[in-house]
Amino acid sequence: MRGRLKIHGPIGIVLFVLAAVMMRQGHEPFTTYFYCFAWWSYILIADALVYWIQGESLLINRTGFFLKMIPWSIFVWCIFEGFNLRLSNWHYINVPHQLLGRWIGYAVAYGTVLPGLCVTSHLLRGIRFFQGLSWRGLSPSLRFLRVLTFLGGASLLATLIFPRYCFPLVWIGFALLLEPFNYRYGGDCLLLDIEKGELKRVFILLITGLVCGFLWECWNFWAHTKWFYTIPFFERWRLFEMPVLGFLGFPPFAVSAYVIHRFLLMLRQRGGMMSIVLWSLLPLSCLFVFVGIDRHTVALYILR
């Protein structure tokens, strides 16, 4: 059932246009933080479209869940930033020299990852992508789950031991490692969909990764503070700053991000000491990664 177009949709459009114009004219904070303005504008617009199409949306009907997703998003992306300290697949340039502004920028940008993926997947579902896609179903055996977990752990370990050759495995490793735990311990998981013969969510997540990957690279290309890639073997052909073959990493990343988020939610819902430990480690681990980014991933600072 269609709903009304909520006000945060037009607000997102105005904010995006304002940010783009001001960025092109060199006005702060839009020059330095254009990527953040672009993504939060898109999230507002996409969520408003979801509400208009479906009559409900994440921001309107699950506001608390949406707000809690932001710190989880920072943490999830910091996991991959942590791996990049070893992989050195991307670096940042034109980053503010002032620490507070720099770290706020990290947090605001990384906080868009899960919300951006989520509203995009809801939008694709709302326009009925892969409607009715199904198959006969498959009941994962315990041995199969153990094999997936082993492959996931081995993939992540290989990226750290042989980063030059195994770096693509980081984008799928966490999905393989953690999804069996989501399945065995009652989390909302993709394996349960597959067991029921429902493939819609899996394929929507894969397409979501491509859509968001295109937007990530598009807005990064035009931004002043941005990242660039140093990926072995694939430097020649590029779309925006990304080597073309690098776009193949976005679909499995979307799946991994979803799986990690569901795994963390499952742990938090178990309550008790586990929940306390998680919420304590989240900011500490992110701050540790921020320090690592400053020391190893930022290639060029600017004075402002």
Domain membership of residue 196 (yes or no) is yes
- Beta partners for residue 226, in sequence order: 93
Domain membership of residue 11 (yes or no) is no
Q: Indicate the number of domains in the chain.
A: 1
Does residue 49 surpass a pLDDT of 90? yes
Query: What is the residue-averaged pLDDT of the chain?
Result: 90
Domain membership of residue 234 (yes or no) is yes
Cα three-residue angle 135-155-233, rounded to 5 degrees: 100
Q: What pLDDT score does 147 carry?
A: 96
Domain membership of residue 119 (yes or no) is yes
Q: What pLDDT score does 132 carry?
A: 65
Under the banding of pLDDT at 50, 70 and 90, the label for residue 2 is low
Q: How do 226-229 and 90-93 pair as beta strands?
A: antiparallel
Does residue 81 surpass a pLDDT of 80? yes
Domain membership of residue 77 (yes or no) is yes
Span 280-289, average pLDDT: 90
Two structure tokens written together for 249: 């990493």
Under the banding of pLDDT at 50, 70 and 90, the label for residue 256 is very high
Asked if residue 120 lies in contact with residue 211, where contact means CB atoms within 8 angstroms, the answer is yes
Domain membership of residue 151 (yes or no) is yes
> Which has more pLDDT, 168 or 302?
168
**12-45 pLDDT tens trace:** 999 999 999 999 998 989 999 999 999 999 999 9
Cβ contacts of 214 within 8 Å, gap of 6 or more: 247
Q: What pLDDT score does 77 carry?
A: 98
Domain membership of residue 96 (yes or no) is yes
Domain membership of residue 285 (yes or no) is yes
d(CA 97, CA 191): 45
Q: What pLDDT score does 130 carry?
A: 67
- Beta partners for residue 93, in sequence order: 226
Does residue 213 surpass a pLDDT of 90? yes
The overall pTM is greater than 0.85: yes
Under the banding of pLDDT at 50, 70 and 90, the label for residue 196 is confident
Span 224-231, average pLDDT: 89
Span 61-80, average pLDDT: 95
Q: Which domain holds residue 102?
A: 63-302
Does residue 193 surpass a pLDDT of 90? no
Burial of 169 (0-12, 13-18, 19+ CB in 10 A): buried
